[in-house]
Amino acid sequence: MDSLDIRILRELWQGREGFPLEPDVRKSYRSMARRLKIDNVTFRNRLSRFYRSGYWKGTQLGVNPSLLGMKANMFWLLDVQLPLEKDALIRELSLVQGVMVIIDYYGPSLAVGTLLDGKISIEKQSELLAKLSGAREVLWVDLPFPKCKMELTPTDWRIVKAIRANPRQSYPVISKEVGVSVKTVKRRLQKMNEAGALFVMPLQNLKALEGAIVADLVVLYSNAEAKTDVDNRIISQFEEFLTLATMGAPKYSFFAFVIGKIWQAKEMLSWVKRQPGVVRAFMGLVQDRIESYETFTRLLEKKLREESIYA
């Protein structure tokens, strides 16, 4: 994987400012190629290679958690004591209510992404995950999805239903399923994009990634001023490796990198720890990413029933 591949990955799933993931679910490949200053054919050829390798499995539609009465969180379980074999622990964690993704890092660490009822205490969830895993330290953060700026209409929810498995479904197919004109479909999708109602969830098979290592960096700061400064310096210093930066939380930031050598991760982490205002920094080398979107699907089905989409 070269520098252009990394830039393409960042373009595919990095959200615009204020969003942890890309909210424009219909973002065209042509516009991405233009931003990267490459031709459309080169962009599509690189993406096709991702698919052929088995690494890139496409995307799934996500709905702003606030529209479902939920909140998204990320937990990093550090120095896990492994009361079970790690694979068995991962299976047990996957059964915990609300778990959507588990990231298996090399060594005794894991990350768990959840979608929880807004009334559930994140501290309680942190305690539960720590108890199950035997983690000596748990870092957690609310994923910074901004509140959606609109109420979705029944037509909007029908469009969501039509594209949930394939956000790039053709407009005529969506139009036929929803029972409105192509023009209306385009207009409603554009409005939902502008309001931050939807986002793209990338589907990856990291075991198929050859010649590269995915490294996640979590940084805890002492204050907002230091956070802004160091976030910008991290991006500037390591942009050639960066695929995702989520910086909207008050004291935490998360960065995903693709590197070629383990020593690069060590040097990056050492550099980050030396920055003023950094209280804690953790870097995990990703072995696997286990995605389970049944929770999201169940919540979406419930919402569609409430909106009488399944009449």
pLDDT value at residue 179? 95
Answer whether 115's CB lies under 8 Å from 70's CB.
yes
Beta partners for residue 210, in sequence order: none
Residues 6+ apart with CB under 8 A from 292: 94, 99, 100, 101, 102
What is the tens place of the pLDDT at every residue in 132-186? Answer: 999 999 998 888 788 888 999 999 999 999 998 899 999 999 999 999 999 999 9
Residue-range domain boundaries for the chain: 210-288
Q: Confirm or reject CATH 3.30.70.1150 for domain 210-288, answering yes or no.
A: yes
pLDDT value at residue 302? 82
What is the tens place of the pLDDT at every residue in 241-299? Answer: 999 998 888 899 999 999 999 999 999 999 999 999 999 999 999 999 988 777 778 88
Calculate mean pLDDT across residues 34-61: 94
Calculate mean pLDDT across residues 64-90: 87
Q: What pTM was estimated for this model as a whole? A: 0.89
Answer whether 55's CB lies under 8 Å from 208's CB.
yes
Query: Residues 67, 156, 187, 173: what is their CA dihedral angle, to the nearest 10 degrees?
Result: 130
